[in-house]
Amino acid sequence: PQTDTTAEKHDAFLSLKSTFTAAGEEVTAIDAFSGSQLLQAEPDASSFPSGGMRSTFEARGYTVWDTTSPMFIQSGPHGTSVLYIPSVFISYNGDALDEKTVLLRSTEQISKACCELLSLIESVPVGAQPRTNHVFTTLGTEQ
């Protein structure tokens, strides 16, 4: 449930490669990072409330990369570097399990409504594309 705290999901992109030689087996660590791991991952969401009984396959939650937020790297323990990938967390049915998904969806709806309004009030020649195709929302102390 939404607890007003941040959450982290840790994935290691480390695999082991075994090579057999005359001297025996050699194991080498390989950093492997595929695009499919970046786009969608499946953590357990069975502890989130559902309002009733549900099937096992519906107890899944998905983390999906939020492409609207930049990735960043911070120093980690033991001289390592940690790549942080901003993500959203949604249920099997597409329900928001975090606060960011709700914000992103509402921002998209505001942009869509503003573009529709602007297309009504601006004079666009017949057959031409409207000048505005996206509106960015901002929030700050000056608003």
- pLDDT tens-digit readout, 35-82: 776 666 666 655 555 555 556 666 677 888 888 889 899 998 888 888
**Distances, alpha carbon 51 to alpha carbons 48, 54, 58, in Å:** 10, 9, 12
Q: Is residue 33 part of a domain?
A: yes
Task: Work out the widest C-alpha separation in the chain, in whole angstroms.
Answer: 79
CA 46 to chain centre: 19
**Is 9 within the bounds of a domain?**
no
Partners of residue 18 on adjacent β-strands: 27
Helices (H) then strands (E): counts for the chain: 2, 7
Per residue in 69-96, is it b (16+ CB within 10 Å) or e — as a string?
A: eeeeeeeeeeeeeeeebebbbbbbeeeb
Q: Give residue 59's pLDDT.
A: 66
Q: What is the residue range of 79's domain?
A: 14-97
**Counted domains in the chain:** 2
Residues 20 and 90 in one domain: yes
Q: Which two tokens stand for residue 114?
A: 């503003």
In a domain, 7, yes or no: no
Q: Among residues of the chain, what percentage have pLDDT more than 90?
A: 14
pTM exceeds cut of 0.85:
no
